[in-house]
Structures are given as structure tokens and as C-alpha cells.
Amino acid sequence: MPERKPGESLIKVILSGICRTDIEITRGYMNYTGIPGHEFTGVVEESDNSELIGKRVTGEINCPCGICAMCRINQGKHCFNRTTLGIFGRNGAFAEYLVLPDECLHIIPEHLSDEEAVFTEPLAAAFEITDSVHIKPTDEVLLIGAGKLGSLIAQVLKKTSCKLTVMAKHKNQSDFLKECGIDSVYPDQIPHGKIFDYAVESSGVPASFNLAIEHLRPRGTLIMKSTYHNNIKVNISALVVNEVRLIGSRCGPFAPALRALSDGSVKVKPLISDVYTLDEGLKAFEHAVKGAKGKVIIRNC
Ligand SMILES: [Zn+2]
Ligand SMILES: [Zn+2]
């Protein structure tokens, strides 16, 4: 049982989701050695805040110190002393229990299922894009990657009414996007020389970085949602010459993510591929590493 400090809640994990970051961690990303897992739903069993006890919650993964220079400018996600659930300095969600600061917790609306709510964290990461740049309805946007995160990003970008081109790799990805009213193309269907105002890289494939640059107009914006365990080879001069704006983007706001799941404007259910028990955790991981069709979920109870 993890130990709870004052201001933290003890949460019994109901569900957790395996994401690409977890797989990168098994390959050495962040040199992390604790329990991984950062996408979850659970029930608060112990807390100093009585309003949280018994509530079904999900949680933001960055736990700030509250006093450093970044915390003082309200950038707790970049706190110099932070721990990050299942990624850095704090055991994660592939366990029976986890501990998070109360301020990180969000109560899940009753009508939302555990399976849907487990997508709050990755969906929040998708909302970080529209939270940090103003994509106008007149903008042309290229999204590279229509996997689990990519298909959430596509649905968030669609809300801006921009002219969206999604580059998918597999038929099941384009089928799901079609269900969401979003057309997608395969890489060879984007005309040579076609340029966009924005490119979003969420494929996790290093070669996509240069592909994005190739299709970005001068002074365009490249938003990076992928992390790579290894360093990638990049033509930096192309960024300089074309005065490309490069935006690194990770965790985002939970409130709009929970709202979009609640009102059904973002669909996630078809993105679940398989559900395992916690005892079958290794099998679940193997499945995710081999390339599951959708999100692999671990259900504890
Ligand atoms: Zn993740
Ligand atoms: Zn701090």
C-alpha cells in the first residue's frame, strides 16, 4: 500500500490504460524504475478532503511542489521539483492503489463509464494544442498519425472548424475517423508540394518530423506531440530558413477533456482494443508493444 502524505489522496485503481509513453519507459525513457501507468480511473479511499472520499476520480499526472519559480508563475506542469505519476519519482497506476495530491484529482461525471474516463489524460494532452495555439477556421492543418492519441487530436482539431487533413496508416484508423465525421488520407495521397499552416506530429515515428517540415509553409507552426527514446536526425536549417515555429506539447487541461467526453463530442469507446486483469499485466503490455489495434486497458475490479 503506497503511503499518503498530507494533502494527498489514496486511490483504489479501477482501470488503467497503457499508452506509448509506458512502452517508451520499458525501453529506457526517463530512466524510470518504479511502477508505470498514468492513465487511470479509481475511487478515493482515504483523503484529508472529505468531499473526495468515495468519489470516482481521474487525475493529472504532474505533481508540483507549489513553491518553485515555475509553480509561482502557475506552471506547475513544469515544476522543477515535480514528480510525475508512473513516469518520474512517483509510482503509477498499474497497481491496486496509487497516491496523488488532492489538487490533481478530477471527479468523473456519473454517466461517464470507467472505460471512457480513462481517456481523460490523453484527451487533455490533445486539448493542450488548442489551449496553446489559436487555430483559426481558415487555417489548413496537417495531422500526422491517427493512432490512439492522433484520433483524439483529430477530434479536438475538428472543433476549431479548420481545414483538417489527417494522415492515417491503417484502415481501422480511417474507419474510426469516418465514424467521427473526419476524412483521412494515406501518406501517398498528400500531393507533393502541398503546404499547411500547421502540422501536428503524433505518429511517434521519427521520419514524420521531416515529413511535417516538408508540408509546412514558411512561418508555419509545427506542434510536436511525440516523444522518442532515441535522438532523431533533423534538418534544423529548414526550420531556420523557413522561420518555422516549433511547439513542444504534452500534458493538457483535464476540465475540457472531461466535458468533451461527457457531452459526447469526442468519441473514445471504439478506441479500446482489449481489456486485461492486473494479474495479466505483462500479457497486456506484450500486446500493446506488439501493436494492439487500440488502447489496451487493465481492469482491476
Ligand atoms: Zn500517456
Ligand atoms: Zn514547483
Q: What is the pLDDT of residues 49-60, one digit of tens each?
A: 999 999 999 999
Kindly report, residue by residue over 148-172, the tens digit of the pLDDT.
999 999 999 999 999 999 999 999 9
Q: Is pLDDT at 24 greater than 90 in this prediction?
A: no
In this prediction, residue 227 carries a pLDDT of: 80
Between the CA of 63 and the centroid of ligand 2 the distance, in Å, is 8
Q: Is pLDDT at 222 greater than 90 in this prediction?
A: yes
Q: Is pLDDT at 228 greater than 80 in this prediction?
A: no
Between the CA of 56 and the centroid of ligand 2 the distance, in Å, is 27
Ligand whose nearest atom lies closest to the CA of 125: 1
- Cα–Cα distance, 65 to 122 (Å, whole number): 23
Q: Rounded to two decimals, what is the model's pTM? A: 0.94
Name the residues around ion ligand 1, CB cutoff 5 A: 19, 21
Average pLDDT estimate for 255-262: 97
C-alpha cell at 146: 491517427
- 207 conformational bin, left if phi > 0, alpha if psi -120 to 50, beta if neither: alpha
Name the residues around ion ligand 2, CB cutoff 5 A: 64-65, 68, 71, 79
- Helix (H) or strand (E) segment spanning residue 246: strand 245-248
Residue of 123, 127, 158, 163 lying closest to 142 (CA atoms): 163
Convert 82-131 into a string of H (helix), E (strand) and C (coil). CEEECCEEECCCCCCEEEEEHHHEEECCCCCCHHHHCCHHHHHHHHHHHH
* Arithmetic mean of pLDDT over the chain: 94
